[in-house]
Amino acid sequence: MGASEPEVGVQDQPLGTPALAPMGVGTWSWGNRLLWDYRPERDDPLLLRTFQECIKAGLTFFDTADSYGTGNLQGRSEILLGQGLARLPARQRQRVTVATKLAPYPWRLGRHGFCKAAAASCQRLGRPIDLVQLHWSTARYAPWQEKPLLQGLMDQVQTGGAKAVGLSNMGPRGLRRAAGWMADAGVPLRSVQAQFSLLSQQPLQPGGVLEVCRELGVTVVAYSPLALGLLTGRYTVSHVPSGLRGLLFGRLLPRLEPLLALMGEIGADHGSTPAGVAVNWCRAHGAIPIPGLRHPHHVNDMEQALGWMLSCHERQALDRASRELATLMPQNPFQSA
């Protein structure tokens, strides 16, 4: 896709469905102690300021999940988003699109398995859900559950608890199957979330999620487009984050130096950063990136990135530079075929 082609997410949508912006904000880290060392007393004020800065910058599409927040903090991401929304004037609040994912835990059984979960998410957010998503498929361990749970999400649209339904972590076979069920029920599939970045390009393979979604007219939402921060240009072999991410970064960063150098050059040509290049690479391939933002100064990079697109030549150069790195990132264990 060249810079002159239309952006994903701004095309006409069926009446009543939420319009998804060219870029969103991921909130996986909001409440996550394991990977992101979340501490409420330190981080909550920063996260709420980050939310406010996002709104000022025109980043009004937020993605969350009822499972975000480790241990007894589960649901913390939705709570923080709800607090941020409550502080907005009514007119601004109406312009915000919130997508949340409901986890198909084993105790959430059958068509009504998500009823309490959806109601709890709405309570934490303080509003109905714009886009309710199946967090992952049960096809690998409880295939009989997949269709009833999806029917339950479609029921949320029928009863007004949500405006549209999406999927997450579902491969091309499951995607076709689920889209067929939804079409038969008269509730079109709105979006599919996939792990997608310069270091995680499985959706881009022939017959992959991107190709199937183009065929079906479904929007692809790219999560982890910055590869947990590896593609931001902020880290070096001698400067890595603490904890589990630091172990991963120390192993991978030496292999990324040529790619990061190219990203820096391209970014400089546009007055941008490697992070801006990374998200625009996703956009150039037809996906809506939802980078995780945890600090107000992260917002400026993403606001600036919205003002330009990669040229066809730049995208191809990045494709070539990342070819041997395209499956470098560990894949989500919940991904299904």
Mean pLDDT by 10 residues, the chain (337 residues): 37 59 97 95 97 97 97 96 97 96 96 97 97 96 96 95 97 97 96 98 97 97 98 93 92 96 97 97 98 96 96 98 94 90
55: left (phi over 0), alpha (psi -120 to 50) or beta: alpha
Q: What is the pLDDT of residue 274?
A: 98
Q: What is the pLDDT of residue 12?
A: 43
Q: What is the pLDDT of residue 18?
A: 77
Distance CA 168, CA 290 (A): 13
Distance CA 24, CA 288 (A): 7
Q: What is the pLDDT of residue 79?
A: 98
Active-site entry in 38, 68, 223, 235: 68
CB 322 within 8 A of CB 328: no
- Would you call 68 a catalytic residue per the annotation? yes
Q: What is the pLDDT of residue 16?
A: 57
Q: What is the pLDDT of residue 3?
A: 40
